[in-house]
Amino acid sequence: MSYLLRVTIDDRPGSLGQLAVALGGVAADIISLEVIERGDGYAVDDIVVDLPFGSLPDTLITAASTAGAHVDSVRPYAGVLDTHRELELVDHVATAGSDRLQKLVDDAPEVLRASWATVVAKTDAGATVTVCGSSGAPETPLAAASWLPLSTAATIDPHDPGVPQTWRDSDTRLVAAPLEGGPRALLLGRVGGPDFRPAEVARLGYLIGIIGSIGRSAT
């Protein structure tokens, strides 16, 4: 069984090695690792590991803590981290023609480690509508989006009045980025957390900016 760990560790020589040894002690096989964010003396990493059949994910938390790491979240993971996935997203969307928005919501959750994605828009009458959504998008749509239009990528308060109660009940964290063509945005949800880090929000903004630039050059 594969799991995605988000851990916060001291950003110093040897800390990652200690974590790897600790995870190996519970028979966890590290498949890949990505640095999400670096700060003053700390680093936030996403680590994909395989555990033997029958092993409990709680053992990962215990092992990480012995190495001085804090586990922000542990989630089952069906894929493998791919350092080229951002480029693939841009390529897929750029070549999707009239299906560009659907391709965007289909691929974006993998890039941002989100559970689902939708494109939402505000009509001239002020109503909020869902234009399209990925697999796993909530059946209950966003009721309103007072935060539209957006000028830049940003996290969305899960307690905003327009967020359905079912989203709050599942502890869904939200991030959005503006799309061209009116007050529209790509909205991503991460069920059960963790929060979207500032570096992730910035990455989303860069990606949407690149996709928008390609779209303008193609017209």
Which structure tokens are listed for 93? 């969307």
pLDDT digits (tens, 9 = 90+) for 120-178: 999 988 889 999 999 999 999 999 999 999 999 999 999 999 999 999 999 999 999 99
Same domain, 94 and 65: no
Q: What residue numbers bound the domain in which 8 lies?
A: 2-76
Domain boundary at 58, 76, 94, which?
A: 76
Q: Do 124 and 178 sit in the same domain of this protein? A: yes
pTM of the shown model: 0.76
The token duo for 131 is 């234009």
- Same domain for 176 and 124: yes
The last residue of a domain, from among 76, 101, 133? 76
The contacts of residue 178 (CB under 8 Å, 6+ apart) are 149, 150, 151, 152, 153, 184, 185, 208
The verdict on 194 and 93 lying in the same domain is: yes
pLDDT of residue 96: 81
Mean pLDDT of 197-218: 78
CATH number at residue 104: 3.30.450.40
* Final residue of a structural domain among 46, 76, 106: 76
Regarding whether 209 and 130 lie in a shared domain, the answer is yes
Same domain, 131 and 199: yes
